[in-house]
């Protein structure tokens, strides 16, 4: 007899969220123990969470445990092209309280770990035991994935993301800023750490060689380049943290499940961060898998392959659509071709004037 019902390989937000969700169903869960080495690392990441992700974290009793300054609502989005084009979204136009919520990554991880301490059916283990269902949620560089009959299809963009925390001379006013142009994509996400009301989380995607050049600059020189790139955005941006980088790619696992096992989160799919949907996709996996297991027939085993294929079918379209959308945006704004540049900027302008289209796009992003 197995000591646990579900074994989760992984220790990040997706793995922890699934462990909490399955604990609520009365399932015995083993999840990878936190890595002590991570405690000493400075994490400058921030997540842009949609309404669906927020709803899941509320169900898990995690959202309310987040510190007030670790969550910042996005009320407006200001998107610019590279030819004067502009696209704006507002929570007022959508009749919602926020378009997204920017969440401090370390604070979310801490809140999840704290919640797990009060989950009586969850065990943190260094060595994950065998179980009727094994879930692999150990990220895009998953080592355990290699032991499965899975083909990992990865297409490198040749770009690198730079992340950091910033402060501005003026209040962020809960506005997110984004610039789409050839060859970079720059995002400034409103944040309240370390300076309440005046901070931003930076995600800057650039060709690898350009990112390497920027990372070699001292603080003052980097700030100068950043402020030049963020023309029309918040003034006087300055670094308040170290800078972090990671390579960007589009990747997916085929298949995502089999008899007794399933892949979720970045272990199953990786998208470009320009739309801020990476963790949202992972938490969407958590919700779908938890629902699938809860709704299974009483006689069906947790690791039943047909049961897991129900989950895979439910997630196939959302993951494929977001992968294709982000990939199309990357390639659409990567070219300096004059006619393509004119086309994409005209398209952005047309969408900005088409209220029904804007509402539909915003709704899709909000609800995942």
CB contact set of 269 (below 8 Å; sequence gap of 6+): 251, 252, 253, 256, 281, 319, 323
- Residue 268: what pLDDT? 97
- CB-based contact 191:199 (threshold 8 Å): yes
Q: Lowest mean pLDDT of 84-93, 134-143, 343-352, name the range.
A: 343-352
pLDDT tens-place string over residues 160-186: 999 999 999 999 999 999 998 878 899
Residue indicated by tokens 């990040």 = 12
User: What is the pLDDT at residue 1?
Assistant: 42
Q: Scan for tokens 């997110």, then name that residue.
A: 176
Strands (DSSP E) contained in the chain are 6-9, 29-32, 46-49, 71-74, 76-80, 86-90, 100-104, 122-125, 133-136, 151-167, 175-180, 185-191, 199-207, 238-239, 244-254, 257-258, 261-263, 269-270
Residues 35-49: tens digit of each pLDDT: 776 665 689 999 999
Query: Of 55-64, 72-81, 304-313, 341-350, which range is least confident?
Result: 341-350
Please answer whether residues 252 and 268 qualify as being in contact, where contact means their C-beta atoms are separated by less than 8 angstroms: yes
Strand pairing category for 257-258 and 86-90: unpaired
- Per-residue pLDDT band at 8 (split at 50, 70, 90): very high
Residue 353 pLDDT: 52
pLDDT digits (tens, 9 = 90+) for 105-115: 999 999 999 99
pLDDT in tens, 78-131: 988 776 777 777 888 777 899 999 999 999 999 999 999 999 999 999 899 999
Task: Specify whether the CB–CB gap between 241 and 164 falls below 8 A.
Answer: yes
Give the model confidence (pLDDT) of 180-233 as tens digits. 887 889 999 999 998 899 999 999 999 999 999 999 999 999 999 999 999 989
């Amino acid at each position: 007899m197995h000591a646990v019902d579900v074994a989760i390989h992984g220790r990040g937000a997706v793995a922890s969220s699934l462990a909490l969700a399955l604990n609520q169903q009365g399932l015995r869960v083993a999840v990878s123990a936190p890595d002590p080495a991570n405690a000493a690392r400075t994490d400058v990441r921030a997540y842009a969470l949609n309404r669906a992700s927020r709803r899941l974290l509320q169900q898990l009793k995690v959202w309310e445990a987040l510190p007030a300054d670790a969550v910042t609502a996005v009320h407006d989005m200001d998107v610019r092209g590279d030819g004067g084009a502009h696209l704006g979204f507002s929570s007022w136009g959508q009749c919602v309280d926020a378009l997204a919520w920017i969440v401090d990554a370390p604070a979310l991880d801490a809140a999840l770990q704290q919640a797990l301490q009060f989950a009586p059916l969850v065990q943190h283990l260094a060595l994950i035991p065998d179980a009727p269902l094994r879930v692999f949620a150990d990220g895009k560089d998953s080592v355990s994935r290699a032991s499965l009959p899975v083909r990992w299809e990865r297409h490198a963009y040749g770009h690198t993301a730079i992340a950091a925390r910033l402060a501005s001379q003026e209040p962020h006013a809960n506005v997110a800023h984004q610039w789409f142009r050839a060859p970079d994509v720059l995002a400034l996400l409103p944040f309240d750490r370390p300076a309440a009301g005046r901070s931003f989380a930076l995600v800057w995607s650039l060709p690898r060689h350009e990112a390497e050049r920027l990372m070699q600059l001292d603080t003052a020189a980097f700030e100068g380049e950043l402020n030049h790139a963020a023309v029309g955005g918040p003034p006087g941006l300055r670094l308040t943290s170290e800078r972090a980088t990671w390579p960007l790619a589009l990747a997916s696992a085929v298949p995502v499940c089999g008899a007794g096992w399933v892949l979720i989160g970045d272990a199953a799919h990786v998208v470009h961060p320009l739309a801020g949907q990476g963790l949202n996709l992972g938490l969407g996996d958590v919700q779908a898998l938890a629902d699938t297991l809860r709704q299974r027939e009483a006689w069906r085993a947790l690791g039943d392959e047909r049961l897991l294929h129900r989950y895979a079918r439910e997630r196939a379209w959302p993951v494929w659509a977001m992968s294709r959308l982000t990939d199309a945006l990357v390639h659409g704004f990567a070219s300096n071709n004059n006619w393509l540049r004119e086309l994409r900027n005209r398209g952005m302008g047309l969408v900005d004037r088409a209220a029904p289209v804007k509402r539909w796009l915003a709704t899709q992003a909000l609800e995942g």
